[in-house]
Structure 1
Amino acid sequence: MSMQKQETTQSWSGLGVGTDRKSFLAAVSAQLPDFEAERAAEAVFCGLSELLSDGLMRQLREQLPEDLRGMLDACPRHQREGGKVDRDDFYLQVANHLNAEPENVRLVLHGVFAALRAQLTEQEAGKVEGQLPRWLQGTWAAAKLGIDRPS
């Protein structure tokens, strides 16, 4: 029996195997039809950069498709201050970045998190959850399961 050459497949398996920017943004758009997917992802990634360590942000970047990695680079709108970000400040920052109402931020987070989680290995997703503040961990976990989608 000969060994078959394994071909690289493009899938959103949650095993760190992504497709490309277009597919990622389509996954975000499917979750958030009322928002521009690219702006929603940028707003959430900018917010995450305030909450997660530089090392974990680099690891996340490495798991994204090459043409999507730039979205995780330093946000030009906000300077990372390194201080503790509270819930209200975080939600307001994401809302302002997206020009959305603060009450819509949880929906946006859920949609982008769902697409991002599908891109990451379970190990990386666990690292992210471990660094998120308690008030955001539930939204991150719910995005994996496709439950608790805010309306």
Structure 2
Amino acid sequence: MQDQEMTQSWSGLGVGTDRETFLRHVAQQLPDYSAEQAVEAVFCALTQRLPGGIVQQLMEQLTPDVRELVGRCQKRGDAPPTKLDRDDFYLHVANHLNAEPENMRLVLHGVFAALHTQITEAESEKIASQLPDYVKGTWLNSRRGVDRPY
């Protein structure tokens, strides 16, 4: 395995890691959840909230094996975003994980931090510009390495 694949810090260069390293990064952030289920839950909610074109650009930056992990949630490139308020967004993730909605900000932060290891800074900024404030703060904090919420 190359050193680049072992890097768990966000480079901002879109030098995605393999699936195993990506999931290990999520598991370190979220030891109480299945990493695969957390990624799928967050990505499904995120792709509902983002325009289809942004989702497609995000998918293109993921490595093929990570893309396969989240591909079940992908929507068409021309699909408009779904309006979800904060409670609906958190509930969507919680239902997917069969977990309490109060813990979902922690889950979002953990998965977002891992996603940032996969994408460029420019892509991250595009995504942030499309997110509502209640998710944008967590997205930006996870990119900056701010301590995860408890």
Normalised by the length of structure 1, the TM-score is 0.86
Unaligned 5+ residue runs, structure 1? 1-6
State the partner residue of 1:86: 85
Which of 46, 62, 73 does residue 48 from structure 1 map onto? 46
What does the per-residue CA deviation read over 1:37-89, in whole Å, with 9 as the maximum and x for residues that have no partner?
0000000000001111111111111111101112333439xxx8954111111
- Give the conservation status (yes or no) of the 8 Å contact 1:39–1:98: yes
State the partner residue of 1:29: 27
State the partner residue of 1:4: none
Moved beyond 6 Å, runs of 4+: none
Sequence identity of aligned pairs in percent? Answer: 56
Structure 2 vs 1, CA of residues 81 and 9 (structure 1 numbering), >3 Å: closer, same or farther? closer
- Give the conservation status (yes or no) of the 8 Å contact 1:57–1:72: no
State yes or no: 1:146 paired with 2:139.
no
Unaligned 5+ residue runs, structure 2? none
State the partner residue of 1:57: 55
Letter in 2 for 1:129: A
5 Å matches for 1:1-151? 9-10=4-5, 11-12=7-8, 13-75=11-73, 82-151=81-150
Letter in 1 for 2:28: A
- Give the conservation status (yes or no) of the 8 Å contact 2:14–2:61: yes
Larger Rg: 1
Question: In the aligned structure 1, how far is the partner of 2:146 from the partner of 2:95?
Answer: 26
| Superposed CA RMSD | 2.1
Letter in 2 for 1:117: H
Structure 2 vs 1, CA of residues 135 and 9 (structure 1 numbering), >3 Å: closer, same or farther? closer
- Give the conservation status (yes or no) of the 8 Å contact 2:50–2:81: no
SS at match of 1:50: helix
